[in-house]
Structure 1
């Protein structure tokens, strides 16, 4: 039997895992939510939830991957107790990774497109928000532009995966993450030298709890919980695969903490770029997703050498998108390889499959714009994002929690032994009650909140309950099997 591929270094593992976690949400969503809920006051809240919510689940994903030495396509098959059906979770994990990629590749294409537009001087002279906004709208309305850059993103991602784990994914992720931080630091220096930049830093770094209260503490808490949870892409096995690629020299709590620090560092530095820039030119820092494609291009236009600074910013955004895409593509390729395929076959088949599956999202803003699955004004991308972000991520994390904490799953003892093998920080065994009973409740609150925001009563409650009941089939079946065995 062919030995499983391994990463060549611990640094490679950390940078690939961080690259998977670091995505557009760090730069796109984090700044405008921070701006909305009072700057540093929200950042403090976010960091608390990152530690108490995201970190334990990340340790569990890595543990399941390393103990099984498989991707999530087979990790539950290897670790589940006899006569249980935990292995059915793999269909949620596989589906989650495919769904994430079939809309994320389109957004990654937007970043590459704007890189080109900035470098070519497309925005030179476009000093009004309406003109820049029209550029973004025209891009969305052009199917061929969307498809071309989506294809470019897919080609780059799968080409790197085709080079192998060490020579492709690991090597490129190291360079790309290193370049990402270099570009960010250059942009930070430029942002700090802008007029009135200190006001932006004050807003970002000095807590303003009064503004948080004005916008609703409850809303801020839910936003912080959601950002801390979704930024790490937990619950669909995206990180578990990299646990299967490493040895047992280091404890997984320390490794997870390092990944969280790198992920948070990117989000934090992004704020150091965006807030001084926005305050310097008098634009709103809480202007939503339009911050990236409308507001910031106007800011760059007002700078000396704006095309270069704009290019560097969207290059940084492209790196953030591509590191996630490459990591998740590696997951998808690993699923097929764990089923017996060669890497070459897995890359070729999935290359074609991802292109076909990504077309509805790319065309959803133009040719297929009449399809509005979640109500007037919504797109196919909104539906795909809702399925992943509001369903598969929280419910997948819930299943990982139950699998790792209860005896009718893999069990707390097995999880602790795996997580604490090696050197470094231990996962506290005394957190069992928190992980087994309190953390699942927090995740369920996040899950139901997503439906409350998206649908009206009682449809939101009915839909969420039905979905939850389907997902809970796996632990309930395992509990029943465990009871029968005990008798």
Structure 2
């Protein structure tokens, strides 16, 4: 059997895994969510939930990968006790990876297109209305969207095609180091803008009065959700890199490093964007339009703005591409592990497959804009995002946690033994009860709240139907975890 690929260095593993976690959500959503819920007070809550939620689930995912030496195509089959059905849950990861790439490649293309437009001076001399028109024109042009999505796909599969160490690790290292340097340069520039001090104060000094205005419960849930979703956990995109990891270091220490790097990028994104908002009188909680309409307008009116705008969207492109590369690797590993395919064959087939599967989201903004699957005003991308973010990520995370703690799964002792091989921070034994009962409960709450937020404004019949569907999926997950096979602990491979 062909020997499993391994990372060339520990730094490579940390940067590649962090690259997967660091995505558009860090540098786009985090700053405006922080703006909505009162700045620093929200950040404090976010950090608490990041440790309580994201870290233990990430440890589970990495440990399943390292313990099995397989991607999600065979990981659960390898570790589960004989006669159990946990392996059926692998389809959450596989479908989730494909669904995410069906729209994320397009969004990665948006970033590349905006970097190109900033560099070539497309926005020079345009007012806010005209900048908004540029974004609208881009969305209504299927040829433009398809071209830039394919550029993102080619770059990402190109990195994957050279293998783990010579391709993914090498390319992502360069991207991540460049991303961090760009962030520092952009943050320093923002700090010297007029009235930037007010923005920095808003960002660093907690004001729980502001939180109270928005509703403390809403802020807590927003912090919980952002901490959960920011790390890209639940669909195996972290698990695959655990499968390439050696046993020199304990998993917890590596996961902590990745969480810290992911958090650093999110916080720095706020240092870039929020002072800009205060400098030019823009509401920092203005939502998704902040990235594609407000910021290009601000760069257009800023000294040296064309340069800073170009650097900003290159930085955004790197954030998107690092995630795409990581998820592509999870997809490729499925075909290589299950079908025994060569990496070259897996890349060729999936290049065509992902390109074709990306078309519905692209066409949903123009040719297929009449299709509104989640109600009036929605589009195909909204549906794909909902299926991934509000379904497969939380359900997949639930599977990882339950599989690692239940006796009829891998079993907590086997999980702990694998997680604590090597040197570094130990994963504590005392956390077992928390992981068995409290952590799954929090994930379930996040999952059901996602459905509530999506369908609470619909008719009673629609709302009840979708909530029943959500509960049914939970019954399936818990049914497998409680009733599958014999209650016998699996073996560490």
TM-score (norm 1): 0.98
Partner of 2:388: 388
Mapped to 2, the partners of 1:159 and 1:423 lie a distance apart of: 34
Whether the 8 Å CA contact 1:85–1:477 is kept in 2: the answer is no
Are residues 1:397 and 2:397 paired? yes
For residues 299-338 of structure 1, the aligned pairs below 5 Å read: 299-338=298-337
Higher mean alpha-carbon deviation, 469-478 vs 137-146, is at 469-478
Residue equivalent to 2:435:
435
State the distance in 2 between where 1:260 and 1:71 align. 21
1:221 and 1:31 map into 2 onto residues whose CA distance is 16
Instruction: Tell me the equivalent position of 1:466.
Output: 472
Question: What do residues 329-385 of structure 1 show as CA deviations (whole Å, max 9, x unaligned)?
Answer: 111111111120000000000000000111001111000101100000001000000
Question: How far is the alpha carbon of 1:240 from its aligned partner?
Answer: 0.6
1:36-435 alignment to 2 at 5 Å?
A: 36-127=36-127, 129-339=128-338, 340-435=340-435
Unaligned segments of structure 2, at least 5 residues: 457-462, 489-493
Corresponding position of 1:35: 35
Q: Structure 1, unaligned stretches of length 5 or more?
A: none
Distance 1:416 1:481 in 2: 21
1:298, CA displacement in angstroms? 1.1
Q: Which secondary structure state, in structure 2, belongs to the residue aligned with residue 6 of structure 1?
A: coil
Task: Give the whole-Å Cα distance in 2 for the aligned partners of 1:274 and 1:293.
Answer: 13
Deviations 1:415-449 (A, max 9, x none): 11011111111111001000000000000000000
**Helix, strand or coil for the counterpart of 1:338?**
helix
Structure 1: distance between partners of 2:482 and 2:367? 44
Are 2:92 and 2:392, in contact at CA under 8 Å, matched by a contact in 1? yes
Total equivalences in the alignment: 482
Find the residue that maps to 1:314 and give its secondary structure.
Answer: helix
On the 8 A contact 2:131/2:293 being kept in 1, the answer is yes
Secondary structure of the residue aligned to 1:482 is: coil
CA separation in 2, counterparts of 1:196 and 1:329? 42
Distance apart, 1:126 and its partner CA: 1.1
Distance 1:372 1:2 in 2: 47
Q: Once the 2 structures are TM-superposed, how far is the Cα of residue 2 of structure 1 from its aligned partner? A: 1.1
Conserved 8 A contact 1:88-1:474: no
Instruction: Give the C-alpha shift of residue 394 in structure 1.
Output: 0.5
Instruction: Provide Cα deviations, 1:168-224, integer angstroms capped at 9, x if missing partner.
Output: 000001000000001111111111111111011011111111000000000001100
Which whole-Å CA distance do the structure 2 matches of 1:438 and 1:63 have between them?
20
State the distance in 2 between where 1:452 and 1:338 align. Answer: 38
Offset of residue 91 of structure 1:
1.0
Q: Summarize deviations over 1:124-150 as a string: whole Å, max 9, x none.
A: 0113x2211111111111111111101
> 2:307 and 2:426 mapped to 1: Cα distance?
45
Contact 2:39–2:206 under 8 Å retained in 1? yes
Please report the RMSD computed on the Cα atoms of aligned residues, expressed in angstroms: 1.1
Segments of 4+ in structure 1 off by > 6 A?
Answer: none
Cα separation, 1, equivalents of 2:140 and 2:149? 14
Aligned mates of 1:28, 1:382 — CA distance in 2 = 17
Query: How many angstroms apart in 2 are the aligned matches of 1:13 and 1:434?
Result: 28
How far off is 1:469 after superposition?
2.2
Q: Structure 1 residue 472: deviation in Å?
A: 3.0
TM-score normalised by the chain length of structure 2? 0.96
Q: Contact 2:406/2:481 (CA < 8 Å) preserved in 1?
A: no
Tell whether the 8 Å contact from 1:70 to 1:338 is kept in structure 2 after alignment.
yes
Residue 481 of structure 1: SS of its match in structure 2? coil
Residues in 1 aligned to 2:472 and 2:414: alpha-carbon distance in whole angstroms: 31
CA distance in structure 1 between the aligned counterparts of 2:380 and 2:478, rounded to whole angstroms: 27
